Amino acid sequence: MVRRSSVVNILEIENLNVVYTGRKEKVYAVNNVSLSIAEGESVGIVGESGSGKSTLAMAVLRLLSEKKADVSGTINFQGKDILGMSLKDYKQIRWKEISVVFQKSMNALSPIHKIGGQLEDIYRVHEPNENKKVIKEKILKLFTMVNLSDRVYNLYPHELSGGMLQRVSIALSLIHNPSFIVLDEATTALDVVTQGQILREIKKLETEIKMTRMMITHDISVVATSCDKVVVMYAGKVMEVGNVKDVLTKPAHPYTQGLLNSFPSLKGEKKQLTGIRGFLPDLSEKKEGCIFAPRCDFAKDICRNVTPKDYEVSSNQRSACHMHGSEYYENRRTS
């Protein structure tokens, strides 16, 4: 876990575990994850599908079924123990202090009601006695912030494009001025141009309203262009954490390097794209050693038998890899 001095952490996660129990076999979806997010920071959670990114977000949002998921560990938000709260108490802070934008969240909008009326009804869940005029003014102000016209207020969802609907979803997530927002693949379904526009608007919003963001994505370019810090996850574990520039230019974990090798660059020299061999492990089985060892080109006996601890690469970067500082790995990494 990367820590910086003289900062206030808005979110602190310690030894978080999520085990899905609704099937015949248990699925260990998140395994001993620890990380912190400082106020005003934007953090990208990256990794291939099945790495536990969305499960981590759902645990923070308390949206996992207690009958089907066993959640343990500690999640502190602004000094409040989220997992220790009753669900009733947590619902008082969800959306007011912590909000979320899901992938294709615009599909949650009713097709037979106008946009403005839907947002107004959602606002009244937490503020039932607010004046209708005040609510409309607030919604129109949010529309301006996310680059939407006032006329959207009186339109139906089918009259808007996918990008406009996702902007409505972002405006909705900001309706109570939350201090922390989770974006779970929120721009994945959009075309590249619209995605870029929305990411720029999100970054602008962070400056204007002092918002802290956790962005779940499999797209490294989204993190590279819009986040301060990156957390790399694989099979429910954190492989590497650090400042975006450090991790993406000098990765300290072979899995991070593998992700970067499979991603094209529009700048610099032409490179051969290579995938990561093998497949994700069966998460219904607990394994000894490093979970990535079977797919790793640098793995040795210690990797297969001993679970790596969180090694400090620098003051801004940590890696859960036995080989991270070895001459063997450094030579291969820079070749």
pLDDT of residue 325: 62
Domain ranges of the chain: 9-89+227-334
pLDDT of residue 1: 47
Rounded CA-CA distance 167/173 in Å is: 10
- Beta strands (DSSP E) in the chain are 9-20, 27-38, 42-46, 69-77, 80-81, 98-102, 180-184, 212-216, 229-234, 237-243, 311-314, 317-319
Rounded CA-CA distance 13/233 in Å is: 14
- Residue 3 reports pLDDT greater than 70: no
Q: pLDDT tens digits, residue range 217-250?
A: 988 888 988 899 999 999 999 999 999 999 998 8
Residue 273 has a CB neighbour count (10 Å cut-off) of 9
- Residue 2 reports pLDDT greater than 50: no
Rounded CA-CA distance 202/206 in Å is: 6
Q: Name the DSSP class of 103.
A: T
Supply the pTM of this predicted model. Answer: 0.89
Q: For 173-186, what is the HEC assignment?
A: HCCCCCCEEEEECC
Q: pLDDT tens digits, residue range 206-223?
A: 888 788 999 999 888 889
Rounded CA-CA distance 53/29 in Å is: 9
Exposed / middle / buried, residue 11 (Cβ in 10 Å: 0-12, 13-18, 19+): buried
pLDDT of residue 4: 45
- Contact call for residues 278 and 295 (beta carbons, < 8 A): yes
Q: Domain 9-89+227-334: give its CATH architecture.
A: 3-Layer(aba) Sandwich (3.40)
